[in-house]
Amino acid sequence: MQIIIDGLGKRFNREWIFRNFTLELNVGNSYTFVGPNGSGKSTLLQVISGVMPLTEGKITYQLSKKALDEDDWYRQIVLAAPYLELIEEFSLIELLNFHAGFKPFKAGITHDEILQRLELDSSKDKAIKYFSSGMKQRLKLALAFYSNVPVVMLDEPTSNLDAKWSAWYREEVQRLASDQLVLLCSNVPAEYDFCEKIINVGDYKPER
């Protein structure tokens, strides 16, 4: 899996958030986008994922050196972020079933295994809307970690997690397979200090 980004730019109204962003992202590597608040980290990740349209430039998604169309691309990624909501009317087990219908879990990862790892066995029939913010964040991360996809995108991954579950995040994210591409947005070094490549998005903001 490869993502080729060429001259990417995003503008809101008349203000450029970033511009002239060029990079090749390759499977087997991990990348973190850093920068001060408002620098465009989350915006960049959303544009790369396809959640948000770009203003200029080009993004090419390739699998086995063949370009993917938009529908195929969405099947290759999973994104966990504070601004993406879970379906709160579903129970936990219903949500796992729904997710697996679009993006199956990795071999050997059963629904029961996920419930045990999240320590949510007793909440499997509870509606997501009754979960705490920490429980929801654990669930978002689990869907990202255990989905059988080549690209994993994480924005502010330890948001709403206590020390115990932040440690769990570090263990799980470093277990991601060598045949996956990991993209992170963070200003917290403990969330990304294992990453091979750090990119400061602020370097791509045009001067006024």
Residue ranges of alpha helices (H) inside the chain are 41-49, 70-74, 92-102, 111-117, 133-146, 163-173, 189-192
> According to the model, what pLDDT value does residue 56 have?
97
> According to the model, what pLDDT value does residue 206 have?
86
> According to the model, what pLDDT value does residue 164 have?
98
Is the model's pLDDT at 10 over the cut of 80? yes
pLDDT single digits (tens) 52-69: 999 999 999 998 888 998
Write down the domain spans for the chain.
2-204
pLDDT single digits (tens) 67-94: 998 788 999 999 999 889 999 999 999 9
Instruction: Output the average pLDDT for the chain.
Output: 94
Is the distance from CB of 30 to CB of 195 less than 8 angstroms?
A: yes
pLDDT single digits (tens) 146-199: 999 999 999 999 999 999 999 999 999 999 978 899 999 999 999 999 998 999
- Please report where in the chains the tokens 């796992």 appear, as a residue: 96
pLDDT single digits (tens) 154-167: 999 999 999 999 99
pLDDT single digits (tens) 38-56: 889 999 999 999 999 999 9
* pLDDT-based confidence at residue 208 (cuts at 50, 70, 90): low
pLDDT single digits (tens) 91-124: 999 999 999 999 999 999 999 999 999 999 999 9
User: Which residue from 146, 193, 171, 198 is spatially nearest to 31, judged by alpha carbons?
Assistant: 198
Q: Which amino acid is at 137?
A: Q
Classify residue 81 by its DSSP letter.
Answer: -
> What's the CATH number for 2-204?
3.40.50.300
Residue ranges of alpha helices (H) inside 91-132 are 92-102, 111-117
> According to the model, what pLDDT value does residue 205 have?
87
Quick one: how far is CA 11 from the chain centroid?
Answer: 22
Is the distance from CB of 5 to CB of 25 less than 8 angstroms?
A: yes
Is the distance from CB of 179 to CB of 2 less than 8 angstroms?
A: no
> According to the model, what pLDDT value does residue 179 have?
86
Is the distance from CB of 95 to CB of 87 less than 8 angstroms?
A: yes
- Please report where in the chains the tokens 């087990």 appear, as a residue: 93
